Amino acid sequence: MSSRHLLIIYIVLCHSLLCSHSFTSVVLRSSHHASLRLSSLTQTRQTHSTLLSSPQFPSTPPPPSPTNSTGLVSLLTLQTYFGPNSNKIWGDLTNSDTRLLYHSLLPRALLKIKTLHNATDADTDLKKLAYLSYSLRQTAKLYSRYRCNLPGRVLTEIYDGWRHFREYGKWNTEGREWDEIWEKYSLEINSELTSPLPPSEISDLICLRILERSCSTNSLIDSYVFSSDNIEALTLQEDLITDEMVDTFVEGVLDSERTLSAGEEVVIMLAQEDKEEEEEEEECTIEEEEEGKCGRGLKAKQISRLRKKVERMTEKRRRVRKEQRQKRRKEEGFE
């Protein structure tokens, strides 16, 4: 073997050793960073656990028992009323259509909540309503993802899984679990408190925060997917449903007579409204469509309808308050 061959072999061996050392260093650094991250996460979790275990904060309430009066809208129910995925592998909705579907399902799910319980025990009902809103949001997310195209579905699952792993150290593509949601808003409420409150009042604040956030979405994703008209219409719709739900609960006029069929009736009613709106949109002429006066998104016509809904619901709430005041005065007069 010539000296030239020996030199080549020597250079290859040295290069292999250097690469091996570099790779080992990268692995060691990655392992070190991972261990530091895990240690930091563990310390943070211990700090949160210590804070939440104090007598001031209420413990996580258990999910309500699955009775008929607390029945949830399941994934199967949404598939029945809004249709199955016509393309099992690729998905039958684009990313923007999926986002619109998700937005529309959030308030529809919450509409069911206000007819499930009579406001006789505020603390108990608030906890049930908070859990129901959390569960219905999860169902809306799963159904929207089930209809979404494959790339969008994979990206959202990776995003949710990585976000959960980064915060809790375990992979979960379906988002936070109930106890994690309760912990998140417990810490959030704690950071906002300026004076001590009884545990029952803190529990109410946590439940109301869960109710409010159950119909909110990521504004960055919305601005990326939707136009300004879409966002305005969807914001009106979210505000309408959230105000109606919370206001109705506070006023104590929740209807408990139709608990079995309330969710199904709401879904059917709103699905029929959507069908009528789609038929109206199809009547737009080609010229109007080219001018951008109509289309698939939520345009000026839908925004106008939503504004009218807001006005009607506001007037309805005023009328309910007036009737309640008159009823109280009448009862006091008899006493």
pLDDT tens figures, 67-93: 433 446 678 888 887 788 989 889 999
Q: Which residues pair with 93 in a beta bridge?
A: 148
* Phi–psi pair at 305, nearest 5 degrees: -65, -40
Structure tokens at 110: 């919450």
pLDDT for position 175: 87
Q: 334 pLDDT exceeds 60?
A: no
Higher pLDDT, 146 or 81: 146
- The pTM score is 0.58
Structure tokens at 27: 């692995």
Triad 144, 150, 153: Cα angle to 5°: 45
Q: 155 pLDDT exceeds 50?
A: yes
The span from the CA of 293 to the CA of 23, in Å, is 59
Percent residues over pLDDT 90 in the chain: 12
pLDDT for position 146: 93
Q: 295 pLDDT exceeds 50?
A: no
pLDDT for position 44: 54
pLDDT tens figures, 208-242: 888 888 878 888 888 777 766 566 666 666 555 55
Could you tell me the maximum CA-CA distance found in the chain, to the nearest angstrom?
118
Q: 251 pLDDT exceeds 50?
A: no
